[in-house]
Structure formats: structure tokens, C-alpha cells
A and B are shown apart, each in its own frame.
Chain A
Amino acid sequence: MSILTTADRGRLDVRALRTFRGIAFGLSLAGVLAACSATATPAATPLSSVAGATATASATPTPAASVAPTPAATDTATPSATATPTPKPTPKPTPLPPLAIGLCTGSQLKLTLDYWIGSSGTDTYAHVHLTNVSSASCNMRGSPRSQIISGSGAILVDGGGEIKTGDPVYTLAPDGSVYDTIVWHNWCKSAPKQKLTVAVYIPFGLGRLKAKANGNAPIAYCFSASSKTTVNGQAWMP
């Protein structure tokens, strides 16, 4: 059981996605959703929601470790006279890290850029909120990794970061939102092309969301050319 690295998030393993879909389907047939919701993380995401993340996931989603695919009675097909099924080896799923269980996926969320704040000599602040647009509750753990994106689509700065065990968990009911003040600090390069916007990565490769641009952004002040440009956000639930 391992938590995906940052580099892992950038890769899309199509085989694993297919495997994941297959396993998810099998699990739903086996009626193990209850087992899924009994995992350590409260209000675990229904498995179908996790599976839906494969459409937007940028890494390799894997099913929950605590969900062992148990063949249901109906899965045991009665051999017919004309077909003798040959058991196919089932790829062993890579367990989903415990911290990822029940998390909201990209397909469940919408990212909205409410406004930019900043002026000459200051950092730039982006106020964004993530809304659960699905019909099921899901969890946000910690704060999503954020990026500032130029008008031409270039990633100006990437916040990086990992989810940690002690991060707060917010349960998002349908239509519920978390609010994130993203702080862009120390931009010492030439002014990027407007209109800037913001993107966030949902941890564990569960999706990347880009907000629709909302007006021209103030450019973060250059405090020191020898210092790093940073972007950081903290998500909170009101």
C-alpha cells in the first residue's frame, strides 16, 4: 500500500483504469458497497462515484484496500453444455491509499474562481470554491494542490504538496462547497498573458479541475528574484 507520488499523478495508466472499472463493476455486483462505507474514513464515497473519476483522473485510481472482491453467488455461472469457461487471471488491484478512501473525485466537483485580489506590491489572492455537483456526499481531505494558469494555458506555478494523515476532512453534501484562498507569491518573470485562472488537483489522482477565468488577475509582486515563486491554498468549510 503506497501513497502516489507527485510524479505518479502525472501518468495515466489506461490498463489500470480498465482494470479498475472492471473491478468496480464486479464489486457492485457483489453488493459490497456497504463494506466500502464501513471503512475508516467517514461518509465514504460510493464506489460508483470513484469509478466515475476515471473519466477525468490524471493518475491511476485504484480500489479501496478494504474492499475485497468477493464473488457473489450469481457470479458463479452454471457451465453450459457448449461452453466451458476458462478462468482468466484477474489482475490484483493496487489498493487505494487509506487517506484516499471516500474522497471527492474530479467528476463530482466544480471549481469556481470567485475573484482575484491584489494590488501593486502585494501577493495575489484567488478566492475559489469547490462545489459537490454530484448527488452523493463525498469528502475533501486537506487542501488540493493548486496551480496558476496563464491565458495561453501555461502553468505559471504549481503548488505541489501532499495530503497528510492529520489534514482535516470535510464532508461535502450535494451542493456543498469548500472555500480556498490561494496565495500566489513572488512572481519575478514577465507579466503572463491574461486572463489567468486557477487549477486544482484532487489528491491521489482523483481529478484535475480548472476554473473558468474571471477577469484579469493582478500579478503577484516580485519580492526577491532569488526566491522561489510559490502558490499555496487552504480549503475551509464555512
Chain B
Amino acid sequence: MVRHTLGGLVCVILAFVSGCGGAAAPTCGSGPGAAACTRVLFLGNSYTFVNDLPSVFAQLAHSAGRSVEVGMVANGGETLSQHAASAEDSAKIVSAPWSYVVLQEQSDTPAYSSANSYMYGPAQTLARQAAKAGAMPMLFMTWAHKDGEPSAGLGTYEAAQGRIEATYLELAGQLRLPIAPVGDAWLHVHADHPEMSLWQDDGSHPTSLGTYLAACVFYAAIFRASPDGLAFHGGVSDADARILQSEARGRVLDMPSQWGLN
């Protein structure tokens, strides 16, 4: 399979080795504390590599005193099907003792009515690979486009987000996987704080606010802990960071069973 990049960008990072220009993140090292380290591999696309979400997540966790190592395989527009068929992904999954392997589908796909049929097989394959390697697979529920998904008959953001959420929940139920409900948190931030620009001008990719929100959701979902008060703000204002931390905490930890996070 030919794997392509968005603007020639290929991101495969491990810890501080960031092909996307991300900031340094703490590593697990090999000392006695290495066993307590949390390693998270992100398999996604531009929704993951724009603003270097893995690095933002790692720095957020580091600001809480947690030892984290992250990796990423993400090419522009990449689908779960492409990830599942990729030898690079298979090699990456067994390349380190990952604690979590995050699975993110191409952004439009979950908004279509028969999306589950197209996502189930690849997600199952990747989840099995991750589990076999000793990692917990986790679904990355993404956010809808700002203008919805008109070609899927979903003319508003809210309608598209509803479908995306339903698709991920159905898939998570079938495969018994936990979800990082980024899209759900995005929906509530957008409703509660419409002045915050989560989307870039393309109405699709995240601003630094959107990426920071996603990082906070991953923090809450992976550590089952609140990101409230964490010092790392990822370049967003202190006030905005507090809002996003709080929203992430509320959406994830107030109803963990909904996301398979018990």
C-alpha cells in the first residue's frame, strides 16, 4: 500500500524524537522507574499530528509528575484500514511495551450510516495486535467538521457529531474497547464556550485550543485523573486552559462507564 503524507509530512515519533517539530517530552528511560512509565502509541492522521497531539499529551502528563513516552504513526487522511494493513504499524506496535495504542479513524468516515461495517474489521485487527503486544487499545472519538457532513445527509456540526459519537460507541461496545471521548468534549466546549475557536479556518483541523482539549481528554481517560490545575497549557491562555481542563474532566470522569473506562 502506498502511504502518503500531507504536505510531505510523515510523523513517526518516539518520545523526544519528534518528526513534526514537537517539543521535547519526557521519556521512560530504562531505570527502576521505567516500569511505572505509561507508553502511548497514537495511530491516526492529521487530527493527531497537527499541533503534535502526542507531544502535548506527554507534556501535560509530565507537568503532573507522570512519566510518559509517546509514539505516533500518522499520515494525512490515513484510515484505520490503511493502518491495519500497514507493516510499519505492525512493527511499531511491537517496538515498545506500549501501555495504550490509540486508534483514530479518518475523520469523515464515522459520520456515514454504514461506517461501522468499514471500521470494525480494521479496528478489530489493530486491537488484537495491540492486545497481543500487551497494550490496551483505545478508540479516539474525533470531532465533526464545523459544517457537518452534508454528503452524509448531516447538515450541521451537531448532527454529524451525534452520528460520529454513535459510531464510536457502537464499535467500542462490539469490541469492548475504551474510548477517549474527545469529540464529545468538543461538542460541550463548543456549546458552552462558542467564543473558543477549536477548529482551524478549514473547519476540520484543530487549533491549539482543540489539540489541548484533546490532550486533556486523553489525560483523563488514560490516567482516570483530572487534568484540572495542571501547569502545562500547551500555548493556550491560562483562562482557556482552565476551561478546557474542566470540560475534559467533566466529560470523561463524570461518566467513565459510558466510555468503557471503569
Indicate, yes or no, whether A interacts with B: yes
Q: Interface 1/0s, chain B 1-17, versus A by CB < 8 A?
A: 11010110000000000
On chain B, the residues within 8 Å of A127 by CB distance are 109, 112, 114, 118
In chain B, what residue has the closest Cβ to A224? Answer: B8
How many angstroms from the CA of A1 to the CA of B80 in the assembled complex? 36
On chain A, the residues within 8 Å of B121 by CB distance are 179, 236-238
A201 at the interface (CB under 8 A from B): no
Minimum CB–CB distance from A141 to chain B (whole Å) comes to 14
Task: Please tell me if the beta carbons of A125 and B117 are within 8 angstroms of each other in the complex.
Answer: no
Segment at the A interface, from B81-89, B161-169, B241-249: B81-89
Q: Interface 1/0s, chain B 83-124, versus A by CB < 8 A?
A: 011000000000000000000001011001010111011100
How many angstroms from the CA of A232 to the CA of B86 in the assembled complex? 12
Task: Please tell me if the beta carbons of A234 and B4 are within 8 angstroms of each other in the complex.
Answer: no
Task: Please tell me if the beta carbons of B151 and A183 are within 8 angstroms of each other in the complex.
Answer: no
Minimum CB–CB distance from A13 to chain B (whole Å) comes to 31
Segment at the B interface, from A24-32, A50-58, A116-124: A116-124
Task: Please tell me if the beta carbons of A232 and B4 are within 8 angstroms of each other in the complex.
Answer: no
- Specify which of B2, B116, B204 is in contact with A230 (CB 8 Å cutoff): B2
Task: Please tell me if the beta carbons of A232 and B114 are within 8 angstroms of each other in the complex.
Answer: no
- Specify which of B2, B109, B120 is in contact with A236 (CB 8 Å cutoff): B120
Minimum CB–CB distance from A128 to chain B (whole Å) comes to 9
How many angstroms from the CA of A143 to the CA of B1 in the assembled complex? 11
On chain B, the residues within 8 Å of A234 by CB distance are 1, 81-82, 84-85, 122
Q: Interface 1/0s, chain A 213-238, versus B by CB < 8 A?
A: 00100000001000010101010111
Once A125-B106, A127-B114 are accepted as A-B contacts, the answer to whether A117 and B151 lie under 8 Å apart by CB is yes
Decide if the interface of chain A is mainly helix, strand, loop or mixed: strand
How many angstroms from the CA of A237 to the CA of B123 in the assembled complex? 11
Task: Please tell me if the beta carbons of A185 and B4 are within 8 angstroms of each other in the complex.
Answer: yes
On chain B, the residues within 8 Å of A179 by CB distance are 117-118, 121
On chain A, the residues within 8 Å of B250 by CB distance are none
Task: Please tell me if the beta carbons of A236 and B81 are within 8 angstroms of each other in the complex.
Answer: yes
How many angstroms from the CA of A228 to the CA of B114 in the assembled complex? 30
A186 at the interface (CB under 8 A from B): yes
On chain B, the residues within 8 Å of A129 by CB distance are 117
How many angstroms from the CA of A115 to the CA of B151 in the assembled complex? 9
Task: Please tell me if the beta carbons of B79 and A181 are within 8 angstroms of each other in the complex.
Answer: yes
A158 at the interface (CB under 8 A from B): no
B195 at the interface (CB under 8 A from A): no
A162 at the interface (CB under 8 A from B): no
How many angstroms from the CA of A236 to the CA of B121 in the assembled complex? 5
Minimum CB–CB distance from B117 to chain A (whole Å) comes to 5
In chain B, what residue has the closest Cβ to A170? Answer: B121
On chain A, the residues within 8 Å of B202 by CB distance are 121
Minimum CB–CB distance from A219 to chain B (whole Å) comes to 14
How many angstroms from the CA of A186 to the CA of B6 in the assembled complex? 11
Minimum CB–CB distance from A149 to chain B (whole Å) comes to 20
Task: Please tell me if the beta carbons of A223 and B85 are within 8 angstroms of each other in the complex.
Answer: no
B77 at the interface (CB under 8 A from A): yes
Task: Please tell me if the beta carbons of A117 and B4 are within 8 angstroms of each other in the complex.
Answer: no
In chain B, what residue has the closest Cβ to A118? Answer: B108
How many angstroms from the CA of A3 to the CA of B130 in the assembled complex? 34
Q: Interface 1/0s, chain A 98-125, versus B by CB < 8 A?
A: 0000000000000000111111011101
- Specify which of B2, B7, B151 is in contact with A116 (CB 8 Å cutoff): B151
Tell me the residues in window 199-217 of chain A with beta carbons closer than 8 Å to chain B beta carbons. Answer: 215
How many angstroms from the CA of A31 to the CA of B137 in the assembled complex? 50
B191 at the interface (CB under 8 A from A): no
On chain A, the residues within 8 Å of B34 by CB distance are none
In chain B, what residue has the closest Cβ to A181? Answer: B81
In chain A, what residue has the closest Cβ to B4? Answer: A185
B225 at the interface (CB under 8 A from A): no
How many angstroms from the CA of A186 to the CA of B8 in the assembled complex? 12
How many angstroms from the CA of A133 to the CA of B2 in the assembled complex? 31
**19 extra interface residue pairs, beta carbon distance < 8 Å, beyond A223-B6, A232-B2:** A114-B112, A114-B114, A115-B112, A115-B151, A116-B151, A117-B109, A118-B108, A123-B76, A127-B114, A181-B81, A185-B2, A215-B151, A223-B7, A228-B2, A230-B4, A234-B81, A234-B84, A237-B121, A238-B116
What are 21 A-B interface contacts by the 8 Å CB criterion?
A: A117-B106, A123-B77, A125-B108, A127-B112, A127-B118, A179-B121, A181-B79, A181-B81, A181-B118, A183-B77, A183-B79, A183-B82, A223-B4, A230-B2, A230-B4, A232-B1, A232-B2, A234-B81, A234-B85, A236-B121, A238-B116
